[in-house]
Chains A and B, each alone.
Chain A
Amino acid sequence: MASVPLVWILTLGAAIFSVGVYGVLVRRRLIGLLICAMLMFNAVVLTLVAFARAGAAPLDVTGEIFALVVCVLATATVALGLALVKALRQMNETATAVPFARQRYDVDADR
């Protein structure tokens, strides 16, 4: 693992995760929230792989499989989130649905 101390890796993961939390708090568009959530997922994957490779059983692939599952979950989250954004856009255009997204988050803030 190129002899990088685990503390460095975990600190980097914590920093990227915190930046993602900041983004989730300040973004208004739903796609912006998805982008920041993806940033947080990236930090989690980095941390999981670091634990897997430098943990108590570095020759076991279970940790990497766990990280792989998290990666798939993140991708599925973004795919479903984008589909939801598209559905919300259609609901807003019909002007009959409750525009819940405009209460706090906007689908298209400046449209």
Chain B
Amino acid sequence: MMPLQTGRIVFLCLAAISLGAALRTVTARRLVSATLCLGITGVAIAGLLLLFAAPWMAGVQLFVATGGVVALLITEITAKEAAPESPRRSVQPGAAALIAGGLFGVLVWMIQQVPLLGTPNGPVIADGTAQLGAALTDPLRHLLTFQAVGLLLLVTLLGGVYLGRGR
């Protein structure tokens, strides 16, 4: 178990990196830059998941949600000319910032209203990956979820091939 102060310092560093990269993701004019910043955010969040003793989820976040998606996006963006985005916006940035800030305020207010959130964090699962695998393949627990997710991925694959086929 990581010492109290060290864990908090690591969390604050990763939080600053992820939040800064997230801000850069939405403000960068070039989509390639935005995608790379999204990748940095994903890596920082994977680090946070590792800090929370969820190494399997950190791996999924790192290799699938970050690596795979960023590679897909970069491929799609660089297939066309990666010109900077037009300054014309769908919503004025001031109004959008107001809406996003209001949403953040409401979320923080809701977080503060829940009394149980001040409790310390739980114990670490011993051999969590093995337990996760056992739960995913147990017919009485989450096998149906596992199969549903597999079916969803198959449908997504077929839909992607159908939509992206050449004419």
Contact = CB atoms under 8 A, between A and B. Distances in A.
Given A38-B38, A110-B85, A45 B45 contact: yes
Contacts of A74: 65, 69
Contact of B100 (A4, A25, A50, A94): A25
A54 B120 CA distance: 8
Given A39-B41, A75-B68, A109-B85, A49 B52 contact: yes
Given A39-B25, A84-B163, A65 B38 contact: no
B71 to A, nearest CB: 11
A3 B8 CA distance: 7
A16 B85 contact: no
Contacts of B76: 31, 82, 85-86
Interface residues of A, number: 78
Nearest to B50: A2
Contacts of B72: 78-79, 82
Interface string B87-122: 011110101110111011001100110000111111
A71 B96 contact: no
Give the dominant DSSP class at B's interface. helix
Interface string B2-14: 1010111011000
Given A80-B160, A83-B160, A4 B53 contact: no
Interface in B55-76: 56-57, 60-61, 64-65, 68-69, 72-73, 76
A45 B100 contact: no
Q: How large is the interface on B (under 10, 10 to 19, 20 to 34, 35 or more residues)?
A: 35 or more
Contact of A50 (B52, B93, B97, B124): B52
A74 B9 CA distance: 30
A42 to B, nearest CB: 5
A53 B53 contact: yes
A102 B112 CA distance: 42
Contacts of A67: 57
B163 A83 contact: yes
B26 A69 contact: no
Contacts of B84: 110
B22 A39 contact: yes
A98 interface: no
7 contacts: A9-B52, A11-B111, A15-B104, A26-B89, A59-B123, A68-B60, A73-B152
Given A8-B11, A26-B93, A32-B85, 4 more contacts: A26-B90, A53-B52, A69-B149, A79-B72
Q: Which 10 interchain pairs have the tightest Cβ spacing? A: A58-B122, A2-B7, A23-B26, A1-B121, A25-B96, A22-B100, A14-B107, A18-B104, A83-B163, A76-B156
